[in-house]
Structure 1
Amino acid sequence: GEEVKISKRAGSYVTVRDLIDEVGRDAVRYFYLMRKGDSQLVFDVDLARSQSEENPVYYIQMAHARMCGIFRVGEIQAATVTGDGVDLGVLKEPAEQELVKQLLDFPAMVKGAADNLEPHRIAGWLLETARAAHTWYHKHHVLGEPEAITNARLVLARASQLGIAAGLRILGLSAPERM
């Protein structure tokens, strides 16, 4: 609940092991990777511990779990969903198009992050993609819509699930299917 300044000279420090024990491996790893390497680290233990949309790790992992939940509720094997023969042109809603744009940015963003040794780009992409996925999820139903829309939205849900999972995996974080 209070800010603590860490100083090697004064002998005050918190080990990474202590942080992991306090908030978990995924939170520690993400909080370290979400900033540029040359920026000052402010580690908010209370935020990292919280299970709310303010906690970026929780928010990203929840987006992945929500995409998985669509398939679980619909009793659909996610791996069977492909874009083959699906008219993605029916994805006309702004939230759908924003999510598609985010997903399309993934390959170039990963290449840029790798070329410049900047993992914070992946962390930022994950957070923005999670925001887009949550917005889409809350605004539009996937199941129970006309077949063309359901099929296209299932492809979008699968692409989101795969993209978020890949980003989390690159950063060494888990992608839970339930939360």
Structure 2
Amino acid sequence: MNWTRLPSLWPLLAVAALLLAGCQLSQVMPPAAAPPASGEVEIPFETIALDEIGVNVELGLIPQLILLTSSDDAAKIKDWVKAEVYTQLESLDFEQYAIVALFRGRKPSTNYQTVIERIERQGNRLIVYAQFWEPNPAWASATTETSPYHLVKIDRRQVPVSSVELVLQAHMLTPTPPAR
């Protein structure tokens, strides 16, 4: 090794060290959801079911957003959810809770997950923000028709007393669905 050339490398090493010290790894974060506008109240919720069931002809192709406030309401969707989910709905205290049910409609294959992100109340409106996942073409999906849905439980006191308008704000996503 030529030791006479080594001292000329020191300034280069010092500059490289300073450049590397200025570089930091930053964690990539997804954009935060927009804060609620004035007059909007975010409603906490708990997932009851996030699933897809075999095709349900009654649902059609269009997403449906339904508010269940009684066991009679729950009985109307009995055939739209799995039996164990309906059993949970039967035992729910509708005096204390209400269910927001989002049904995506019929889809041609699996991996069309439907996820409620957040719910806001604005006057007599419940605004439901949701993710509609599309299958990634690079991933295998079973070619059987499905009807994806997400049911969440909210505090009944958060439901407006007068007539309620349900508003769906959904956006499409494609990569891989979120973990269940």
TM-score, normalised by the number of residues in structure 2: 0.21
User: Larger RCO: Structure 1 or Structure 2 (Cα < 8 Å, ≥ 6 residues apart)?
Assistant: 1
Q: Which has the higher helix share?
A: 1
- Kindly name which structure, 1 or 2, has the bigger radius of gyration based on alpha carbons: 2
| TM-score between both structures, scaled by the size of structure 1 | 0.21
Task: Specify which structure has the higher proportion of strand.
Answer: 2
